[in-house]
Amino acid sequence: GAGVSQSPRYKVAKRGQDVALRCDPISGHVSLFWYQQALGQGPEFLTYFQNEAQLDKSGLPSDRFFAERPEGSVSTLKIQRTQQEDSAVYLCASSRDREVSTFGSGTRLTVV
């Protein structure tokens, strides 16, 4: 597609539930990033892939967060045993190597 596609757009989860958020990057983009944006704040880096390799996961806030990109294209961010503090917009971005990233519209996760 023409842009970075994220699904679902909105997700409501009960506390303790597991969720999976999907990102379809722009075709041919080798770099893929996940960011977390809390309400009223700027995005914060979570993790970075180059093709299928996860090169940086220093931003993942806990071991409940897990990301994968098994074939170097679509990526999934999984959050286990969701907590209220996980409520945020999760943004995916992709780029050709060392170029500026293009962002998706995000998935808004609300944990109730």
Partner 1 sequence: GDSVTQMEGPVTLSEEAFLTINCTYTATGYPSLFWYVQYPGEGLQLLLKATKADDKGSNKGFEATYRKETTSFHLEKGSVQVSDSAVYFCALSPDTGRRALTFGSGTRLQVQP
Nearest to 104, CA basis, from 71, 64, 77: 77
Dist CA 112 CA 103 (whole Å): 27
Contact characters 30-49, partner 1, x per CB under 8 A: -x-x-x----xxxxxx--x-
Contact characters 50-89, partner 1, x per CB under 8 A: -----xx--x------------------------------
Dist CA 70 CA 91 (whole Å): 19
Instruction: Check if the beta carbon of residue 18 is closer than 8 Å to that of residue 109.
Output: no
Measured from the CB atom, is 59 or 72 closer to partner 1?
A: 59
Interacting residues with partner 1 (CB under 8 A)? 3-4, 31, 33, 35, 40-45, 48, 55-56, 59, 91, 93, 98, 100-106
